[in-house]
């Protein structure tokens, strides 16, 4: 131990004085593109926010703040007037106007080969026009009170670059934003370099140059921080948090995030679900996962507190629904399911499976904090509860494409509410799959219930905030509490590590925003 610390201290002493002008940030998940409209993925969106901006910003708690729009208001149920900021310039010097927003809205549904499109956020908008260069009128198909939340996810590109394809963005040619940083360099899977935008309209970023390095290996990321190769890292591994807290060279920032880790079960297929077997491992024709009692039993077999304390080392919070109670539209009734293996056994027997059945749990192994380990722990609990469970872990790229093709019966995944309220997970995870409405985009278990669908639908067109919140909560009560369409496990606590002397306000959306990193006040 002592030798190790001395060795690292020596390393750190050598390399700390190197970079003062440049901030080097270790990212945990690779950024897959520089095109802000290509792939709706938290690491991509987080990086895009340095280069591009949205009309509506979100603060660290995801509360809405004026961004490229100075103000917005609903003229009637379906018409919105948005006042744009006047003194904003693109990185190439051209002024920002309503034309740019119109071009953005037009481009988003038409990005070829997009693996996760942003179109769900533009779909409610039926018409957009510019009243004058700095006033925008948006019309929605139906009353859509969440329009400002949706706008907070849409990165505005300059009209000049609207015709450019994703490869042009990845090469940097088309990256012309209004954000606090300008494009420097992008090497896929390795690094992104950004330089400060001196003409930025908002607060000037503290560092003239940012170097994002993708260090997907967790111990390597911590080593980079301790050695001074990175001044900041995201996703500090839970195993190291206790030690880093004691380390005088490091500051940590952490918060419970908006990301739920959950289990999805194949409740769509009536028979021959691909990874459901009998206890001996032979394929099972019937699909027990369609029975809500079986899903509830699975939920009861899992000791969430043990997972949080042992696997997550306390850096997570047991979950009973999609978002912590502080978020809008969450239920007051739903509590984390109590660990009750005996009750689960009875329920399983009542559902006609007294001897259980077999499952394979599929999980990504590089996407969520301890994802593969959580899956193994879940498999432990299920196996003990009479459902022998295998674990098949794979890189997230493979996992998501196979999962979306419905190749799994039982999977572990996570969802961060991009809009900062409960309709986002409800629509994506438990609303019936309907690409036309943009519903069920991540409903890889194909859970479907007409009642839940109706509640979500009505809620989404309810203007009154309180009423909408109650309706969303009721939908969650039914989808999770009554039908166990999804099994919530826990909310991730996200932790950033910085060298002493830097400060960062931990964000619930898990974004790593280098422009919000500042020297700590003395």
Binding site for other proteins (CB under 8 A): 1, 4, 218-219, 222-223, 237, 239-240, 242-243, 303, 306-307, 310-311, 365, 372-373, 376-377, 379-381, 383-384, 388-393
**Listed residue (68, 23, 28, 34) closest to 511, CA to CA:** 28
Cβ nearer to other proteins, comparing 6 with 242: 242
Distance in Å, CB of 372 to other proteins, minimum: 6
Cβ nearer to other proteins, comparing 5 with 463: 5
Distance in Å, CB of 177 to other proteins, minimum: 36
Give the integer Cα–Cα distance in Å for 146 and 102: 19
Cβ nearer to other proteins, comparing 293 with 373: 373
Distance in Å, CB of 223 to other proteins, minimum: 7
Cβ nearer to other proteins, comparing 175 with 387: 387
Looking at residue 159, the DSSP 8-state letter turns out to be: G
93: left (phi over 0), alpha (psi -120 to 50) or beta: left
Is the CA virtual torsion 188, 190, 195, 201 positive or negative? positive
Q: Per this entry, what is the length of the chain?
A: 522
Question: Residue 428 in contact with residue 440, Cβ under 8 Å?
Answer: yes
Distance in Å, CB of 380 to other proteins, minimum: 5
Give the integer Cα–Cα distance in Å for 246 and 91: 42
Distance in Å, CB of 520 to other proteins, minimum: 24
Q: What are phi and psi for residue 9, nearest 5 degrees?
A: -60, -40
Give the integer Cα–Cα distance in Å for 361 and 393: 8
Cβ nearer to other proteins, comparing 228 with 469: 228
Angle at 461 between CA 465 and CA 444, to 5 degrees: 105
33: tokens are 């593109």
Give the integer Cα–Cα distance in Å for 259 and 22: 30
313 burial via Cβ count (<10 Å: 0-12, 13-18, 19+): middle
Cβ nearer to other proteins, comparing 137 with 252: 252
Cβ nearer to other proteins, comparing 327 with 381: 381
Give the integer Cα–Cα distance in Å for 350 and 354: 7
Distance in Å, CB of 449 to other proteins, minimum: 32
Question: Residue 374 in contact with residue 326, Cβ under 8 Å?
Answer: no
Distance in Å, CB of 246 to other proteins, minimum: 11
296: tokens are 């509830």
Q: What residues contact 111, with CB distance under 8 A and at least 6 apart?
A: 35, 37, 38, 117, 166
**Listed residue (409, 400, 412) closest to 373, CA to CA:** 412
Cβ nearer to other proteins, comparing 254 with 376: 376
Distance in Å, CB of 374 to other proteins, minimum: 10
Q: How far apart are the first and last CA of the chain?
A: 32
Cβ nearer to other proteins, comparing 224 with 294: 224
Looking at residue 408, the DSSP 8-state letter turns out to be: -
Distance in Å, CB of 2 to other proteins, minimum: 11
SS3 210: strand
Distance in Å, CB of 342 to other proteins, minimum: 15
Cβ nearer to other proteins, comparing 309 with 404: 309
Give the integer Cα–Cα distance in Å for 210 and 434: 40
């Amino acid at each position: 131990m002592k030798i190790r610390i001395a060795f690292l201290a020596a390393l750190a002493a050598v390399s700390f004085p190197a970079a003062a002008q440049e901030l080097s940030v270790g990212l945990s998940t690779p950024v897959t593109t520089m095109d802000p409209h290509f792939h709706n993925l938290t690491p991509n969106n987080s990086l895009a926010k340095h280069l591009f901006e949205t009309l509506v910003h979100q603060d660290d708690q995801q509360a809405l703040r004026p961004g490229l729009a100075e103000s917005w208001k609903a003229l009637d149920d379906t018409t919105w007037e948005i006042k744009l900021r006047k003194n904003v310039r693109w990185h190439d010097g051209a002024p920002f106007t309503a034309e740019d927003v119109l071009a953005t809205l037009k481009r988003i549904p038409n990005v070829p080969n997009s693996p996760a499109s942003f179109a769900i956020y533009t779909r409610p908008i039926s018409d957009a026009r510019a009243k004058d260069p700095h006033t925008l009128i948006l019309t929605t198909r139906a009353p859509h009170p969440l329009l400002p939340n949706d706008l907070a996810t849409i990165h505005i590109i300059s009209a000049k670059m609207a015709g450019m394809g994703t490869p042009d963005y990845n090469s940097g040619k088309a990256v012309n934003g209004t954000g606090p940083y300008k494009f420097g360099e992008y090497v896929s899977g390795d690094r992104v370099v950004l330089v400060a935008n001196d003409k930025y309209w908002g607060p000037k970023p503290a560092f003239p140059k940012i170097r994002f390095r993708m260090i997907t290996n967790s111990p390597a990321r911590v080593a980079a921080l301790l050695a001074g190769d990175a001044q900041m890292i995201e996703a500090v591994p839970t195993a190291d948090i206790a030690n880093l807290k004691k380390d005088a060279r490091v500051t940590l920032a952490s918060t419970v995030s908006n990301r739920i880790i959950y289990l999805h079960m194949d409740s769509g297929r009536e028979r021959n679900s691909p990874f459901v077997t009998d206890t001996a491992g032979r394929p099972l024709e019937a699909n027990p996962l369609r029975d809500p009692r079986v899903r509830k039993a699975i939920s009861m077999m899992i000791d969430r507190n043990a997972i949080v304390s042992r696997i997550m080392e306390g850096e997570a919070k047991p979950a009973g629904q999609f978002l912590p109670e502080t978020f809008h539209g969450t239920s007051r009734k739903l509590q984390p399911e109590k660990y009750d293996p005996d009750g689960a056994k009875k329920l399983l027997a009542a559902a006609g499976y007294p001897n259980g059945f077999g499952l394979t749990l599929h999980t990504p192994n590089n996407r969520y904090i301890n994802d593969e380990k959580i899956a193994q722990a879940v498999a432990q609990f299920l196996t003990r509860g009479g459902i022998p469970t295998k674990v098949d872990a794979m890189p997230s790229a493979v996992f998501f494409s196979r999962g979306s093709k419905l190749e799994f019966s039982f999977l572990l995944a996570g969802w961060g509410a991009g809009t900062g309220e409960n309709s986002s997970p409800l629509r994506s995870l438990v609303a019936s799959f309907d690409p036309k409405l943009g519903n069920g985009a991540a409903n890889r278990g194909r859970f479907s219930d007409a009642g839940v669908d109706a509640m979500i639908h009505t809620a989404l067109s309810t203007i009154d905030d309180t009423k909408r919140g109650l309706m969303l909560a009721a939908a969650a009560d039914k989808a999770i509490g009554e039908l166990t369409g999804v099994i919530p496990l826990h909310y991730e606590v996200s932790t950033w590590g910085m060298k002493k002397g830097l400060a960062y306000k931990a964000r619930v959306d898990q974004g790593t925003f280098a422009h919000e990193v500042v020297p700590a006040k003395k």
